[in-house]
Amino acid sequence: METYHSIVTLESSVQNLIHQAMNATKGSYCPYSHFSVGAALMTETGLIILGANVENASYGLTICAERSALFQAFNRREYDLKRIAITARKWLAQDAYEETTKATAPCGACRQVLHEAASVNGKPIEVILTSSDFQEIIVTNTAELLPSGFGSEDLGVQDYIDSMYRNSLHV
Ligand SMILES: [Zn+2]
């Protein structure tokens, strides 16, 4: 896990992904928390898929930005996921935001779903957590975020996943 305090020290494709995550916050539906979260997922081939949190009056049915992006990727049969950038900012009014100064970490549910995606991928997915003022950028990965995670290996279906869901089968 590495922490950076400036976006310009990162490689350009990572910078771009962070900007895409920032852009994705505009798709957030957050009338309850006013906390708009954006995620930008990049596949090994460079395809970028965006997600944002979508809240619900029942609260519990809210879905996070990370899962919103990941489920879209799976719907498109994109399983070779390289990295995901996540950021959040406080939504004040139409196109008005208060920037966050601390990186926002994925919730436990999203860590579990990221762990699943990494097991299909066959290796950890890089995770970039950033404050929306870009003063705190944490570079980590799915293995660090969920050590000893429960997954397909525990249910004995890793071979099945490997044979059915690797992108190499779908090119
Ligand atoms: Zn979450």
Ligand 1 centroid–CA 62 distance in Å is 9
pLDDT recorded at residue 166? 78
Ligand 1 centroid–CA 134 distance in Å is 21
Ligand 1 centroid–CA 171 distance in Å is 30
- Write out the residues surrounding ion ligand 1, Cβ under 5 A: 64, 107, 110
What is the rounded (10 degree) CA torsion for 107, 108, 114, 115? 160
Of 2, 55, 66, 116, which one is the catalytic site residue?
66
pLDDT recorded at residue 170? 53
Ligand 1 centroid–CA 37 distance in Å is 10
Ligand 1 centroid–CA 52 distance in Å is 10
Nearest-angstrom CA–CA distance, 3 and 87: 14
pLDDT recorded at residue 121? 87
Nearest-angstrom CA–CA distance, 150 and 112: 8
- The answer to whether 102 touches 131, Cβ cutoff 8 Å, is yes
Ligand 1 centroid–CA 90 distance in Å is 16
In order along its 171 residues, the chain shows pLDDT tens digits of 999 999 999 999 999 999 999 999 999 999 999 999 999 999 999 999 999 999 999 999 999 999 999 999 999 999 999 999 999 999 999 889 999 999 999 999 999 999 999 999 889 999 999 999 999 999 999 999 999 999 999 999 999 998 888 766 554
Nearest-angstrom CA–CA distance, 38 and 45: 21
Q: What is the pTM of this model?
A: 0.95
What is the rounded (10 degree) CA torsion for 131, 125, 156, 163? 140
Tokens (6 digits) for 116: 């699943």
Of 167, 85, 65, 154, give the one whose Cα is nearest residue 122: 167
Q: Which domains does the chain have, with CATH numbers?
A: 2-169 (3.40.140.10)
Looking at the chain, how many residues does it have? 171
Is 116 known to be catalytic?
no
